[in-house]
Amino acid sequence: MEAEYIIVGAGSAGCAMAFRLAEAGRSVIVIEYGGSDAGPFIGMPGALSYPMNMPRYDWGFKTEPEPHLDGRRLATPRGKVIGGSSSINGMVYVRGHPRDFDTWAQSGARGWSFADVAPYFRRMEDWHAGVHGGDPEWRGQGGPLKVTRGTRTNPLTRAFVQAGVEAGYGATADYNGERQEGFGAKDATIWRGQRQSAAVAYLRPALRLGNARLVRALARRVVFEDGRACGVEIERAGRVEVIRAAREVIVAASAINSPKLLMLSGIGPADDLAEHGIEVRADRPGVGANLQDHLEIYVQYSCPEPVSLYRYWNLAGKAWVGARWLLTRTGPGASNQFESAGFIRSAAGVEYPDIQFHFLPIAVRYDGRAAVKGHGFQIHVGPMRSPSRGRVWLRSADPADPPRILFNYMSDPKDWADFRTAIRLTREIVAQPAFDRFRGTELLPGAHVQSDEELDAAIREHVESAYHPCGTCRMGSADDPGAVVDPECRVIGVEGLRVADSSVFPRITNGNLNAPSIMVGEKAADHILGRAALPRDERAPWEAPNWRTAQRVGDGARMADAAE
């Protein structure tokens, strides 16, 4: 088996690259260990909690005991299926704040500022502005990935946005457009009631072109000849074989599996590789380092009015939701139910939002395993730019062994202060008049949890990953000893090998990571093809005029941080 390009991983970035390379007439083989994405658990947006808890679709990774969270081992779902994590995620579409990408460029990822990446976000999008409003000048239409908004008919969903405005944060018509800051409708990778994964948007169209193939196998290591990547050793049906690449090998296996594959191939921290008897091909200490994620806590309330999704949280209700979706692709099952969003700044002097809110009109764990009895709602809240850093490293030299993962969550004192602020600001938003009809008892952390010490204990016990790992093959300048890939996604120290997925992020972006991961695949494809980058978009994003002196935009009487 041979192709011009081999892509390891049929996830968000891998599928995008497969399509763009095949579209350009190149031959491509995509290696993916996971199986088919067919079936209602993946296709139905309302069933999102199921696939991420199914071994058929999820690698099932867990962290090492996290030392600052009482030794808890947190789930780290990654998609083991066609489409990768885009087939098991929450379908929330967030580009990130423009300043995120400017920070990338300033840290050594030249050519990845917002002016550089904005055209790629537009190229990938098919955003239905005419139906849902917003800012069409900043969005793309006609791209492979359909992006829509929910119906937002639930009164709790609308009350959340109104409460954010009442608290002085203002509204945004499109947080993926000129202005992220504020409260408004949430974008989703859903189209006509079905999940729009990278497999749907990119991989299947690539396979239909005829010059892209999908191979179901476990990638064991990258194969080199004379210092150049020339193929990938795989295992399938009990046999080990090599698929050869005439031009390049591209690793797009996730922020967890991409560094693992590089290390198995001899690229990584020399001492760690030697410990496992792996010959060192390139001593890159940054491989597996710089691991980042978003943590969040669910602030939950009971609701005295029977308007939440709890009315479907029974066998008959779930059967009705499922049947309606199967027959008509409508109803609650046609939405991920994350239909309202908020992005705010935590304090005066913070230039752009550093807290994200997801609103859900039911009180339930994200994985669906434990629902509060009775009607309620919850707000997922967490800081966006934690200073804590973790790493991924090998458990052994056996490719079948899962890697070791330690995010080192909450290892910086700033994390604790930021989380306490986020919870207190959330409570203030729920205290606004818009929630007067709907506000019941605070269930989590609980109204009695008020002091710093009490909040810290609740955070330690209840925070969960938002499932946004990134940064473990950091992009930077070729002379940066901590960088793994250069600004064209080429692995530093070897030839013919690139990495392009969320692992190359120098720093985590604001919000969910599916959109910027796909963007990385889109832009990397142009680098691989040797094409000139798309013309830069020099427009400046919206900036709060009073950010230096005020924590929020529009409430002059209460500009001070609510946490004080």
Q: Name the binding residues.
A: 81, 89-92
484 Cα distance to chain centroid: 21
Instruction: Exactly one of 97, 375, 380, 468 is catalytic; name it.
Output: 468
- Distance, CA of 3 to CA of 337 (rounded, Å): 42
Q: Is 132 a catalytic residue?
A: no
CA–CA separation, 261 and 222 (whole Å): 7
Pairing of strands 295-302, 442-444: antiparallel
Q: 413-430 vs 155-166: helix axis angle to the nearest 10? A: 110
Residue 248 phi, psi (nearest 5): -150, 155
Name the residue among 556, 278, 296 with its Cα closest to residue 393. Answer: 278
3-state secondary structure (DSSP) of residue 356? strand
Contact in structure between 7 and 512 (CB atoms under 8 Å): no
Distance between start and end Cα atoms, the chain: 64
Integer CA distances (angstroms), 518 to 13, 85, 122, in order: 5, 11, 12
The candidate with the shortest Cα–Cα distance to 232, out of 218, 252, 216, is: 218
Give me the phi and psi of 246, to 5 degrees please. Answer: -70, -30
> Between β-strands 239-251 and 228-236, what pairing exists: parallel, antiparallel or unpaired?
antiparallel
Instruction: Please state the φ and ψ torsions of residue 206, each to the nearest 5 degrees.
Output: -65, -45
| Distance between CA atoms of residues 340 and 360, nearest Å | 8
Tallying the residues shown for the chain, one arrives at 564
Which residue type sits at 229?
Answer: A
Binding-site residues for FAD sit at 81, 89-92
Q: How many CB atoms lie within 10 A of CB 132?
A: 17
Pairing label, strands 391-393, 404-406: antiparallel
Distance CA 73, CA 247 (A): 41
How many alpha carbons lie under 13 Å from residue 278 in its C-beta half-sphere?
29
Would you say the C-alpha torsion 277, 396, 250, 28 has a positive or negative sign? positive
Tell me the C-alpha distance between 372 and 136, whole Å. 39
Kindly report whether the peptide bond that precedes residue 545 is cis, defined as omega within 30 degrees of 0: no
CB burial of residue 208 (10 Å; 0-12, 13-18, 19+): exposed
Strands 267-268 and 28-32: unpaired
CB within 8 A of 554, min separation 6: which ones?
A: 165, 168, 169, 170
Give dist(CA 320, CA 313) in Å, integer: 11
Catalytic residues: 468
